[in-house]
Amino acid sequence: MTIPKTTAVIGAGTMGPGIAATLSRCGSTVRLNDIDAGVLERAKAGTELASQILGRLDAPEAPGGSVSFELDVDAACEGADLVIEAVPERLDLKREIFATFERVVASDAVLATNTSGIPVTDIAAHLAHPERVIGMHWSNPPHVIPMIEVVPGERTSPAVVDQLVATIKAFGFSPVVEKEVPGFVENRILYAILRECVSLVERGVVTQADMDTAVKWGIGYKLAVIGPMRLLDMAGLDIYQSVASYLNKDLCNDAEVSPLVTDRTGAGKLGMKTLGGMYEYADQDDVNANRSRIAAGLVAVRKTLQAL
């Protein structure tokens, strides 16, 4: 096992609790940090819920793990073998927090960022030891989606890549090692799909509800089992070439975000967190019920896929 003895998770918002729960279940002593006492208090319930879901998933478990909650970043980082940054997506903020890591932690600690798209090279640009900085991009919810993108920067040490890959495998997740590109691989694929989905709904080709059905039970169902490169082989490369030769020209290639989205964000309709976005939600109980159904579905799908 290469689970870190002590892990610091910096940022207790959307991702932090699930990350902390995943590592603590495998025996790591985790310190979850946030500068906002209210966020940190809410993270306690989030961490407990994530731990319960990991139990339902029969995730790997080892004794000795724990999660503590720290307002002081120095205290959270002291003695950490692995530091995972999960603060908001601002380059200046990430550079500031990584400078703190470099001041506080041991010289052999791995410094990972959960950024979903900021270049790792830019985050590490002003550090004395950029060779130990690496991207570790979890998917949301991080305790349920068992894939992590490993993204070295231009000066990241190959030994750090190998070490992080081994750690991820040790807690039962699948590492995907990538070269540094804007948005990384997963988000590039996701946003290409979302752009076409939004365009088709905006043009009135399909309703938003039918779009969700088409993707969930069409390409989503297939890709969850097969994967796009294997799907090409199943369909036949000649068939793909034939269809792509005329269809690619007609796909949405807009560089700007669709008014279907910007009109809603301009009106403060941001999705579940404001009780309205593409869909309307009656109240917070309605949102919670939707989130619970989604979580249960993800758990069921993961257990099924793991059995294949």
d(CA 248, CA 192): 12
Q: What is the pLDDT of residue 117?
A: 87
Where do the domains of the chain lie, and which CATH numbers do they carry? 6-177 (3.40.50.720), 185-306 (1.10.1040.10)
Retrieve residue 226's tokens.
């097969």
| Cα 141 to Cα 143: distance, rounded to the nearest angstrom | 6
Q: Tell me the two tokens of residue 269.
A: 């309709």
pLDDT of 36 > 90? The answer is yes
**CA–CA distance, 201 with 213 (Å, rounded to integer):** 13
Query: Do residues 87 and 114 touch, judged by C-beta distance below 8 A?
Result: no
Q: What is the pLDDT of the chain when averaged over all its residues?
A: 95
Rounded to 5 degrees, φ, ψ at 96 are -65, -45
Distance CA 114, CA 151 (A): 10
Percent of the chain with pLDDT over 90: 96
Q: Which residues of 180-190 are buried (b: 16+ CB within 10 A; e: fewer)?
A: eeeebebbeee
Tokens coding 241: 């070439």
Confidence of residue 264 (pLDDT cuts 50, 70, 90): very high
- 0.85 cut: is pTM over it? yes
HSE-CB at 166 with a 13 A cutoff on CA atoms is 12
pLDDT at 136: 98
DSSP string, 18-31: HHHHHHHHTT-EEE
Binned at pLDDT 50, 70 and 90, residue 60 comes out as confident
Grade residue 307 by pLDDT with cuts at 50, 70 and 90: confident
Query: How far, in Å, CA of 118 to CA of 113, rounded?
Result: 9
Confidence of residue 308 (pLDDT cuts 50, 70, 90): confident
Q: Is the N-terminal amide bond of 141 cis, ω within 30° of 0?
A: yes
Q: What pLDDT was estimated at residue 207? A: 97
Q: How confident is the model at residue 249 (pLDDT cuts 50, 70, 90)?
A: very high
More confident position, 107 or 198? 198
Give the pLDDT confidence of 1-13 residue by residue, as tens digits.
489 999 999 999 9
Q: So what's the pLDDT on residue 306?
A: 87
pLDDT 10s digits, 119-176: 999 999 999 999 999 999 999 999 999 999 999 999 999 999 999 999 999 999 999 9
Nearest-angstrom CA–CA distance, 217 and 137: 27
Q: What is the dihedral of CA 302, 52, 270, 279, to 10 degrees?
A: 60
Q: Are 42 and 65 in contact (CB under 8 A)?
A: no
Pairwise CA distance, residues 94 & 10, whole Å: 10
Q: So what's the pLDDT on residue 262?
A: 97
**Measured CA distances, 100 to 35, 111, 139, 180 (Å):** 14, 11, 25, 24
Cβ neighbours of residue 232 closer than 8 Å, sequence gap 6 or more: 240
End-to-end Cα separation, the chain, in angstroms: 24
SS3 230: helix
Bridge partner list, 113? 85, 135
pLDDT (mean) for 189-196: 97
Three-class SS of 129-143:
CHHHEEEEEECCCCC
